[in-house]
């Protein structure tokens, strides 16, 4: 399957949302969960597709890749990476 590495490079409080979708725009899973959020600078995850789901195969030691959405400041724009 396809492999992607997603990395947050800025130091802003804005999180990067990694969201999985199918070609029909239905929600899919990343390690049996809906989303991952990178909230700290230089945090990253590497994911691979099995055809129907995405699996996290690596993450850096400083990353916060929680499945819970962080509190976004009202003035920030969310950054999303949809698979």
Q: Kindly state the tokens that stand for 19.
A: 């969201």
Reply yes or no on whether the pLDDT at 61 is more than 80: no
The residues near 11 (Cβ < 8 Å, ≥ 6 apart) are 41
Segment 36-63 shows an average pLDDT of 85
pLDDT for 75: 39
pLDDT tens string 19-47:
887 655 566 788 888 788 999 999 999 99
Entry pTM: 0.69
62 or 28: which carries more pLDDT confidence? 28
- Percentage with pLDDT > 90 across the chain: 33
């Amino acid at each position: 399957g396809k492999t992607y590495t997603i990395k947050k490079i800025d130091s802003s409080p804005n999180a990067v949302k990694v969201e999985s979708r199918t070609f029909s725009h239905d929600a899919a899973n990343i390690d049996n969960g809906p989303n991952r959020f990178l909230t700290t600078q230089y945090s990253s995850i590497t994911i691979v597709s099995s055809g129907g789901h995405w699996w996290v195969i690596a993450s850096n030691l400083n990353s916060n890749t929680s499945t819970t959405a962080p509190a976004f400041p009202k003035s920030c724009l969310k950054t999303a990476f949809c698979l």
